[in-house]
Amino acid sequence: MFVGSEKYGERKPQGLFIKHIIRKIFLEDWAMKLIALAITLGLWLGVTVFTKQGSARLTIPLNIRTSDNSILINSAVKDVTIRVSGEDQKIRDLSASDIRILLDLSDVEPGEKTVTITAQSVSLPSGVRLEDIQPKGIPVKLEAAEQKDVLVQPEIIGSPAKGFEVYSQSVTPQRVRVRGPVSYVRTLDMLPTERVDISGKSDDFVANQVRVKLSNENAALLDYSVVDISFHIGERRIAKTFVVGAGGSSGKKGSVTLYGPPTLLNGVKPENLKLEIGKDETGSDTPILVLPDSLKGNVEVRSLKLRP
């Protein structure tokens, strides 16, 4: 009995302590605690119950990503309409620029197929929920990509000044690298430039930064998209024939036709030209013309033969 009395005595203060704690929590300063509870409840109701919710429909551009080995030939869908919901203020402040839709086709093989836009394709601001996407299925056509170096061909309009002509033209760089659908790239032999007007030109000139044109919107120029075109322009050339005697005692003569600017050819006399007689592979006589330095590089030998 004595031992039991000790245990009973130990439990009695413990029960009083618990009652004291309960009184402290629920009875003391109860008015202030009731006000705090009411405020907390009001805030909770304001956030969870009375916060106005809103929704909106927006039209968003569709971004499509492909692998390096394929090209999107066409897609019937350029924009996607989505319905979103969320806190009214956030919805009212929302614009199409806040949302991004990316359809990743990196792992899709070339061909025609329909792919699905999922919620994972849509990036939304925090607190905005996606409710619907239309259309969900997007028909696309992918084609294998190919690269090729293609010759550039200048496109010229107009004519030089009267009495002048274009002797030659050169493009720098001569070739550009094209990437595009294999069906298009394999047909390319040359690419034209934008038109260069040479009307009234009488001297050499360079057309700088002339754009190279592509006829396929799915193709692109990888290294150069513009070129420089150099034009060599001079007098309109004429052809003039001379009878030239060979040196030495052979007594042979040759007939030579030169093609070049009239101001040069009109001043040339037969004695200004030198004719030598050589041998061809069969051992027959063959004429060799030696031009004076003033004509080298400026005239073209159109015809050269021995006279009977």
Q: How confident is the model at residue 145 (pLDDT cuts 50, 70, 90)?
A: very high
Residue range 146-235 in CATH 2.170.120.40: yes
Instruction: Answer whether residue 143 shows pLDDT above 60.
Output: yes
* pLDDT above 60 for 10: no
Q: Is the pTM of this model over 0.85?
A: no
Give the domain ranges of the chain.
2-48, 53-143, 146-235, 238-306
Cis before 125? omega within 30: no
Judge whether 53-143 and 146-235 match in fold: yes
**pLDDT averaged over the chain?**
87
The count of other CB atoms within 10 Å of the CB of residue 156 is: 17
Distance CA 240, CA 258 (A): 5
For 53-143, CATH number? 2.170.120.30
Q: What is the mean pLDDT of residues 33-59?
A: 70
Greatest mean pLDDT among 24-38, 79-93, 94-108, 204-218:
204-218
Answer for the pair 146, 135: CB distance below 8 angstroms, yes or no. no
Q: Is the dihedral of CA 262, 263, 265, 269 positive or negative?
A: positive
Give me the percent of the chain exceeding a pLDDT of 70.
84
